């Protein structure tokens, strides 16, 4: 997979050699070193045409703050999407910032790339989306700053046949899209084939991609050695060796935790017919209303 990130703060992603950047460590760093993912970080200002490399201007209609300019973003996306090397994976230095040459050539109407624009006004980013993105060949992230990016940039990319998602990582406002990109890239990259040591952990994770045991639920509590710590014992069932009993206990705990912290997820699961009689009994015991009427709210 190729990942392009356009930002006015390329240093956010680490120095050119990648050492110390958030995309250069742990599972993602290893995936990049193997060539499973190639990151290209671009400084948006290289596509600004004035002497000050201006990327923003005052908003039409007034109001506080500045808006990022459509012409600069358009030039950046044109250059990245017409980069003939874009499908080549595994550059020798995957972290190296690769300044694309600004180009006047038109963007192909269908690019094969997906543009992801982080914004608090986007659709919520979910594990389902992370799974879908993990199947993409090329993701391009546009990091906004100030009051965001001129809306015509997204309209223009869509009109040219590009898949575009405006995505929020939560109901709060960050200063820029860079942190959101790190969040999204980390969620996506750990789902790439071969990145996680144990593929089962994906389906056993909270939200449980791929229809696993945690499908639509939060994962319950987890434990490791020692069996007793500061007077607290690990739940006996986990030491029983009875795999069916352990699986049931884990699902019960997941149901209880999800009902308490994310009742919206339980309602969604119920609406999708994802709760069996035992699940419902556990939820009723936990004080969660699972009858049809109250589930609807
Ligand atoms: N005026 C915008 C609004 O109210 O929707 C907020 C702009 S915010 C200060 C600047 C940039 O931070 C956004 O363009 C986006 O790239 C990023 N950003 C802020 N909050 C975000 C969130 N919750 N999810 C994703 N990106 C976010």
Distances (CA, A) of 202 to 130, 143, 214, 223: 11, 28, 9, 18
Report pLDDT for 257.
98
Cβ–Cβ under 8 Å, residues 133 and 139? yes
Same domain as 250, residue 116:
no
Same domain as 112, residue 38:
yes
CA 119 / ligand 1 centre spacing (Å): 4
Q: What is the residue with the minimal CA distance to atom 23 of ligand 1?
A: 120
Helix or strand run (H / E) with residue 267: helix 263-271
CA 97 / ligand 1 centre spacing (Å): 24
Same domain as 178, residue 69:
yes
CA 219 / ligand 1 centre spacing (Å): 29
Give me the DSSP letters along 200-248.
HHHHHSTT-GGG-TTTTS-------S-SEETTEEPPGGGGS--HHHHHH
User: If we measure between CA atoms, which residue out of 138, 8, 182, 33 comes closest to residue 95?
Assistant: 33
Same domain as 154, residue 9:
yes
Same domain as 19, residue 92:
yes
Residues 6+ apart with CB under 8 A from 215: 203, 207, 208, 269, 274
Exposure of 174 by Cβ count < 10 A (0-12 exposed, 13-18 middle, 19+ buried)?
middle
Cβ–Cβ under 8 Å, residues 123 and 167? yes
Exposure of 264 by Cβ count < 10 A (0-12 exposed, 13-18 middle, 19+ buried)?
exposed
Give the number of domains in the chain: 2
Distance CA 154, CA 149 (A): 9
Ligand 1 atom with the smallest distance to the CA of 148 is 14
Report pLDDT for 290.
84
Pocket test for ligand 1, best of 5, 8, 148, 169 (most atoms within 8 A of CB): 148
User: If we measure between CA atoms, which residue out of 225, 203, 214, 223 comes closest to residue 252?
Assistant: 214
Same domain as 268, residue 161:
no
Pocket test for ligand 1, best of 63, 174, 187 (most atoms within 8 A of CB): 174
pLDDT truncated to tens, each residue of the chain (297 aa)? 999 999 999 999 987 645 569 999 898 999 999 999 999 999 999 999 999 999 999 999 999 999 999 999 999 999 999 985 554 332 322 323 343 444 444 444 457 999 999 999 999 999 999 999 999 999 999 999 999 999 999 999 999 999 999 999 999 999 999 999 999 999 999 999 888 876 667 778 899 866 677 889 999 999 999 999 999 999 999 999 999 999 999 999 999 999 999 999 999 999 999 999 999 999 999 999 886 655 655
Distance CA 163, CA 160 (A): 9
Range of the domain at 245: 213-295
Same domain as 185, residue 220:
no
Does a structural domain hold residue 289? yes
Report pLDDT for 203.
76
| Ligand 1, CB cutoff 6 Å, lining residues | 118-121, 143-145, 147-148, 168-170, 172-177, 180
Task: Report the CATH number that the domain containing residue 7 is assigned in CATH.
Answer: 3.40.1280.10
Same domain as 149, residue 229:
no
């Amino acid at each position: 997979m190729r990942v392009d990130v356009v930002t006015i703060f390329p240093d956010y992603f680490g120095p050119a050699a990648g050492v110390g950047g958030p995309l250069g460590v742990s599972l993602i760093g290893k995936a990049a070193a193997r060539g499973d993912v190639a990151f290209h970080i671009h400084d948006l200002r290289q596509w600004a045409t004035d002497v000050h490399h201006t990327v923003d201007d005052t908003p039409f209609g007034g109001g506080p703050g500045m808006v990022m300019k459509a012409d600069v973003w358009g030039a950046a996306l044109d250059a990245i999407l017409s980069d003939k090397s874009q499908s080549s994976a595994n550059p020798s230095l995957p972290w190296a910032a690769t300044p694309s040459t600004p180009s006047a050539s038109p963007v192909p109407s269908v690019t094969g790339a997906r543009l992801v624009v982080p914004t608090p006004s986007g659709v919520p980013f979910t594990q389902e989306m992370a799974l879908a993105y993990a199947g993409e060949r090329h993701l391009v992230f546009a990091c906004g700053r100030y009051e965001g990016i001129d809306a015509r940039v997204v309209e223009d990319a869509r009109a040219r046949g590009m898949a575009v998602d405006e995505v929020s990582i939560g109901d709060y406002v960050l200063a820029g899209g860079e942190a959101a990109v790190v969040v999204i890239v980390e969620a996506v990259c750990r789902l790439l084939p071969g990145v996680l040591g144990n593929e089962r952990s994906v389906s056993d994770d909270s939200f449980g991609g791929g229809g696993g045991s945690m499908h639509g639920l939060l994962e319950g509590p987890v434990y490791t050695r020692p069996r007793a710590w500061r007077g607290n014992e690990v739940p006996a069932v986990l030491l029983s060796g009875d795999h069916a009993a352990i699986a049931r206990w884990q699902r019960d705990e997941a149901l209880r935790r999800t009902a308490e912290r994310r009742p919206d997820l339980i309602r969604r699961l119920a609406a999708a017919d994802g709760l069996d009689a035992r699940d419902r009994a556990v939820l009723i015991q936990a004080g969660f209303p699972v009858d049809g009427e109250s589930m609807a709210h």
